[in-house]
């Protein structure tokens, strides 16, 4: 079987959303990611930041389901992801940035341990690792996100990079 570079990249994106690896994307993948991030940074689920992260995760899920869950069974299969999400996100990357932003904004607040409205490269790597990236890849990606090289990553850098990564060109 020949797997194209495009298919390989789509599979990698699907695997990131399918956090628990059970073969489909659903609400649990998003709430699970929120839970893991809170645990990594020692933030209580009941705190304002914890609640904001769960709300952002739910909004992200609802947005993805609205785009991709064609049969409305509250699960996004790989086929729905490829035929729905990937095409529509590629056609409209701004829409994707919009649905991901509340979650990314809240994740940034959780990881902003210095409290200066940005996240250091090291904490960004921690976030990426919690979301399932291999440790060395997480460090590389985090460094790449810091486009102006000041050691800090702000919301716009994260949202833009995220949208770029998931709107895979064919």
Residues that bind Ca ion (CB under 5 A): 18, 20, 22, 29, 69, 71, 73, 75
**Least distance (Å) from Ca ion to the CB of residue 132?**
11
Q: Whose Cβ is closer to Ca ion: residue 76's or residue 125's?
A: 76
Q: Which is nearer to Ca ion, 29 or 112 (CB)?
A: 29
Residue 25 or 139 with smaller CB distance to Ca ion = 25
Q: How far is the CB of 167 from Ca ion (least distance, A)?
A: 21
- 88, 67 Cβ separation under 8 angstroms: yes
Q: Cβ 62 to Ca ion, closest distance in Å?
A: 14
Query: Considering the complex, what minimum distance in angstroms separates the CB of residue 117 from Ca ion?
Result: 32
- Choose between 15 and 114: whose C-beta lies nearer to Ca ion: 15
DSSP output for the chain: ----HHHHHHHHHHHHH-TT-SSSB-HHHHHHHHHHHHHHTT--TTSHHHHHHHHHHHHHHHHHHHHH-TT-SS-B-HHHIIIIIIHHHHH-HHHHHHHHHHHHHHHHHHH-TT-SSSEEHHHHHHHHHHTT--HHHHHHHHHHH-TT-SSEE-HHHHHHHHHHHHS---
């Amino acid at each position: 079987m020949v797997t194209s570079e495009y298919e390989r990249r789509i599979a990698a994106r699907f695997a990131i959303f399918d956090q628990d690896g059970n073969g489909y994307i659903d609400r649990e993948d998003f709430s699970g990611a929120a839970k893991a991030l809170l645990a990594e940074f020692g933030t209580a689920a009941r705190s304002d930041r914890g609640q904001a992260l769960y709300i952002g995760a739910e909004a992200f899920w609802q947005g993805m389901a609205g785009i991709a869950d064609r049969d409305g069974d509250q699960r996004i299969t790989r086929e729905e992801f490829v035929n729905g999400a990937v095409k529509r996100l590629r056609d409209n990357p701004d829409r994707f940035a919009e649905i991901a932003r509340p979650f990314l904004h809240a994740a940034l607040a959780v990881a902003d341990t210095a409290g200066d409205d940005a996240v250091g490269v090291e904490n960004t790597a921690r976030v990426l690792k919690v979301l399932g990236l291999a440790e060395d890849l997480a460090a590389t990606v985090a460094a790449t996100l810091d486009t102006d090289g000041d050691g800090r990553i702000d919301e716009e850098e994260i949202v833009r990079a995220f949208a770029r990564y998931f709107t895979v060109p064919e």
